[in-house]
Amino acid sequence: MRPHLKMLERSLIERILDETFTVLESTGILIDSPAGFERLRELGLPGDDATRRVTFPRSTVERAIADAPSAFTLFDRSGEPFTELAGDRVHFVPASSALRILDRSSGEPRDATSADFVEYARVADRLAHIAYLSTAFIPKDVPSDIADGWRLYLALATSEKPVVSGAFTSHGVPRMAEMMSLFRRDREDLAARPNSIFTCCPSTPLRWAEDAIQNLLDCAGWGIPIEVVPVLLLGMISPATTVGALVLHSAEVLSGLTIAQLVRPGTPVLFGGAPASFHMQLMTNPMTAVEALQVYCGYAAIAKHLGLPCQAYMGLSDSKLNDPQAGAESGMGMLLAALAGFNSVSGPGMLDYVNCFSLEKLVFDDELAAHALRFTRPVEVKDDLPTRPLLDELLRENHLLTAEHTLERWPEELYLPGPMIDRTNWEQWDLQGRPDSTARAGELIETALEDYDVPPLDPALDAEIRRLFSSTCNEPGVELPALVERR
Amino acid sequence: MPDYALMNQRVFEGDRESVAEMTRAALEAGRPPLEVLEDGLIAAMRVVGEDFKYNRIFVPEVLLAARAMKAGMAVLQPLLTSSEGDSSAGTIVLGTVKGDLHDIGKNLVGMMAEGAGFQIVDLGTNTSAEEFIAAVREHRADILGMSALLTTTMVYMKTVVDEMRAAGLEHVRICVGGAPISQAYADEIGAHGYAADAGSAVQLFKRLVAPSAPPA
Ligand code: B12
């Protein structure tokens, strides 16, 4: 059996869902956009003109859950199947959209450039346990109105792997979707062979803001897989307790899922989230807080119960540096995420409340991902039951190092971590010059950059995409940065 | 003489009914409204502010106390002359800039500032320079507070600062905040103040409206 975290009784899940359906059916969701509100009414949802609240009849939500795929495939840049988000299959992915990056030489946060992004994408592309990419941070050397799409272009130009992304404005999705469809025969082909997951965020409590509802409608219209990501702050804009938070969280996710299915039945939707605690003194929003982790694992159980794929912001840290707190929070989050069976886990690389991205952390988290994934391997009998013959051999030989069973099994069973986990003894470590983890991460980054060998985009396609950006941004004709890595 | 110490204690406990009642009783006993305001309510909120600053109480207690103070204020307000009413703190127009829908931090700043006796005009999210300027004029604001959480929307703060100047509103102090904002950015765009959290935002506002604050 695959090790699994079990934290909600089935009967409690059912009570939580009952209450969720009641909230959706009677309180409903505020749609903070006249056009969005109208559209939802056209789609058949009851709405109150005066309050602009839309309600979701239980049967509609249940049909939407049935229409939403329980699994879906992400395709690579060229349209080949890349991976399936299904069952308890876990993917670790860099967290998204940091405001800043942690500079590798100074150790200080700073604004990022396109060159920084290319460097990040090359490294992320090479990491064995980082399943696919995200638009991890925002380059500040392009006009701000195209920054969301530009980083997706940089990711697609640098790596063939799928990308988690999202739009920053109400008109952001169509331009990004146009660009992605240039990699396919046409729009329908993009929907059939998606290369990206887009984040859509309701505004807790129970509201879809103007940009967000437009993004959600556009993504569904294009058939782009969506992760619905509410950000509850426990005790502030959410009940402080787990069960109440799960009701609110589920209502918001299912509102997004239902809307997406009404627009285009079968649109892949991940039951996502980034719940955080609210720090009653500092007024900060730790997503790594232990009670938030309980909400994460709780909604994973609800998603599994409904047969929906799920996503989480776990494996990040609120520390400002790659220090013990960063390692501890990330490791805890990633192990729990793997045990809960999250299909897409956004977190690796991120520090400081989703505000700061660190490449060093990303390579460390790649190792943590390896650990978490290994822990969830099923525990099975492997020629070791009955055990007595093996024990007889051990007693006879004093060791099993050369036993046939060991020779056959150990390479698979005993994992040798990479350099980010130090397994030397003190003398070995001393002899190696006492490399600290920053130095080791730096070396891994350099190796990844040297090994990078993804073919560049077709020059005509590349030129077409650049034209799309330079002609549609609010500084038309602006010179956009070349695709070079920062060395 | 009303028991102002007890009244302060009731504010501190967030006991709205008692605070309103004690305010009424003090007025009936003939005490001047300004004295009741200062000794009964503001004195209590000063302690609340200090206690919060030194981690002796938490956000919920601050908001409960602020709510109790407001209950007292509601009784006092009609009796205070407009200059007295104003003299308690100042008026702040607050909003999240155009294109940005994040409002949690801004709301907290508003709640905490209200607790400290400021009048808050909250314009919500996605606010344009024209809307900021119209509200500043209408409410004769002392301070304009802008929030931005996106790297793509923070640049709009500069537009607002410039348009405020062009509109002849140099005397209004402009404060900025939000995760991507820093003191350096505030300086760069010509804002008068930056604060990293709601607690220090209130200190900042107080500094900016203090009579000794540097003139515009
Ligand atoms: C909660 C949240 C949301 C919520 C917002 C709900 C709401 N009603 O506000 C939701 C889920 C809706 C959301 C949506 C989006 N978000 Co958002 N969000 C956050 C998050 C996690 C926390 C913000 C927060 O509320 N913090 C808690 C409060 C208390 O802190 P605060 O805002 O910093 O405020 C304090 C101080 O800054 C200061 N302050 C604030 N304002 C002011 C004003 C003045 C005058 C002063 C003096 C002080 C001051 O005092 C406050 C109290 O102490 C941040 C990450 C982060 N940790 O900052 C991302 C974050 C800001 N979001 C981000 C993104 C990308 C988005 C989306 C574009 C996602 C998407 N694809 O749809 C959309 C944006 C839509 C839009 N057009 O605005 C990015 C920004 C990326 C970038 N480079 O710009 C961040 C950094 C997360 C990330 N890495 O992805 N988000």
Instruction: From A252, A256, A186, A260, select the one nearest A218 (Cα to Cα).
Output: A260
Q: Are residues B127 and B47 in the same domain?
A: no
In terms of residue numbers, what domain contains B100? 91-209
B59: nearest CB among A210, A280, A285: A280
CB B146 near ligand 1, within 6 Å? yes
Query: How far apart are the C-alpha atoms of A451 and A438, rounded to whole Å?
Result: 20
Q: Any idea which residue has 């950000």 for tokens? A: A231
Domain count, chain B: 2
Q: Taking CA atoms, what residue in B is nearest to A137? A: B151
Least-confidence region, from A124-138, A251-265, A315-329, A466-480: A466-480
Asked whether A60 lines ligand 1 (CB < 6 A), one says no
Please, what sign has the CA dihedral across residues A264, A268, A271, A275?
negative
Q: Is the pLDDT of residue B195 over 70?
A: yes
Task: Identify the bridge partners of residue A350 per DSSP, sorted by sequence position.
Answer: A357
Residue B79 forms contact with A (CB below 8 Å): no
CA A252 to CA A295: how far, in whole Å?
14
Whether B101 sits inside 8 A of A210 (CB atoms) is: yes
B216 pLDDT tier (thresholds 50, 70, 90): very low
In this complex, the residue of A100, A168, A236 whose CB is nearest that of residue B152 is: A168
Q: Give the closest-approach CA distance of B62 to chain A in angstroms.
A: 10
In short, whether A201's Cβ falls inside 6 Å of ligand 1 is yes
Which residue among B52, B152, B199 sits closest to A145, beta carbon to beta carbon? B152
**pLDDT tens-digit profile of A379-392?**
999 999 999 999 99
**B87 interfacial to chain A (CB closer than 8 Å):** no
Query: Tokens representing B178?
Result: 């939000």
| Among B149, B182, B185, B206, residue to substitute to test ligand 1 (most atoms within 8 Å of Cβ) | B149
Residue A99: which of B126, B151, B155 has the nearest Cβ?
B151
With 70 as the cut, is the pLDDT of residue B88 above it? no
Residues B52 and B125 in one domain: no
In this structure, the answer to whether residues B49 and B128 fall within a common structural domain is no
Q: Give the model confidence (pLDDT) of B32-82 as tens digits.
A: 999 999 999 999 998 998 999 898 999 999 999 999 999 999 999 888 866
Positive or negative, the CA dihedral B186, B191, B195, B196 is negative
Query: In CATH, what number is assigned to the domain containing residue B131?
Result: 3.40.50.280
Mean pLDDT of chain A: 96
Q: Cβ(A143)–Cβ(A109) under 8 Å?
A: no
* B216 falls within a domain: no
Give the CATH number of domain A1-379+425-487: 3.20.20.480
Cβ–Cβ under 8 Å, residues A310 and A300: yes
How far CA B198 is from CA of A302, A320, B62, B129, B147, in Å, comes to 36, 20, 12, 23, 11
Tell me: do B188 and B123 sit in the same domain: yes
Tell me what percent of the residues of chain B surpass a pLDDT of 90: 82
- Cβ-contact A164, A199 below 8 angstroms: yes
Q: For residue A478, what pLDDT is reported?
A: 86
Q: Which residues pair with A208 in a beta bridge?
A: A31
Strands (E), A140-240: 163-165, 196-200, 207-208, 226-228, 233-234
CB neighbourhood size of B63 (10 A): 17
CA-based nearest residue in chain A for residue B108 = A283
> Is residue B215 included in any domain, yes or no?
no
B182 part of contact set with chain A, CB < 8 Å: no
Name the domain boundary from B37, B61, B81: B81
Question: Which residue owns the Cα nearest ligand 1 atom 38?
Answer: B197
Q: Does residue B49 fall inside a structural domain?
A: yes
Write down the pLDDT at residue B80: 80
B189 domain-assigned: yes
Is 90 exceeded by the pLDDT of residue B115?
no
Evaluate whether residue B214 is within a structural domain. Answer: no
Kindly list the distances between the CA atom of residue A414 and the CA atoms of A1, A367, A397, B190, in Å, as whole numbers in the listed order: 19, 15, 21, 60
Contact A144 B152 (CB under 8 A): yes
Residues B40 and B135 placed together within one structural domain of the fold:
no
Indicate whether B99 and B193 sit together in one domain: yes
Nearest-atom number in ligand 1 for the CA of A137 is 83
In a domain, B86, yes or no: no
In chain A, the percentage of residues whose pLDDT exceeds 70 is 99
Q: Does position B142 have pLDDT exceeding 90, yes or no?
A: yes
Would B104 be classed as within a structural domain? yes
CA distance B115 to chain A (A): 16
For the segment B136-148, the average pLDDT, to the nearest whole number, is: 97
Atom of ligand 1 at shortest range from CA of B103:
9
Boundary of a domain, candidates B81, B115, B136: B81
Same domain, B138 and B196: yes
CB neighbour list of residue A171: distance below 8 Å, 6 or more residues apart: A214
Choice from A140, A148, A168 to test ligand 1 binding pocket (greatest atom count within 8 A of CB): A168
Cβ(B111) – ligand 1 distance below 6 Å: no
Parallel/antiparallel/unpaired status of strands B193-194 and A92-93? unpaired
CATH number reported for the structural domain that contains residue B71 in this entry = 1.10.1240.10
- Min distance A89 CA to chain B CA atoms (Å): 33
Question: SS3 helix, strand, coil % of chain A, rounded to 5?
Answer: 45, 15, 40
B118 and B75 within one domain:
no
* 3-class SS of residue A70: coil
Examine the fold and report which residue of B46, B81, B116 is the final residue of a domain before the chain moves on. B81
Residue A351 has pLDDT above 90, yes or no: yes
With 70 as the cut, is the pLDDT of residue B112 above it?
yes
Same domain, B69 and B131: no
Domain boundaries, chain A: 1-379+425-487
Q: Indicate the helix (H) or strand (E) that contains B20.
A: helix B16-28
Average pLDDT for residues A268-281, to the nearest whole number?
97
Segment A63-70 shows an average pLDDT of 98
Structure confidence at residue B214 (pLDDT): 57
* Separation of alpha carbons B95 and B104, rounded Å: 11
**pLDDT tens string A208-226:** 999 999 999 999 999 999 9
**pLDDT for position B83:** 58
pLDDT of residue A325: 98
A343: exposed, middle or buried (Cβ count in 10 Å: 0-12, 13-18, 19+): buried
The answer, yes or no, to whether residue A314 has pLDDT greater than 70, is: yes
Judge whether B115 lies within some domain.
Answer: yes
pTM comes to 0.95
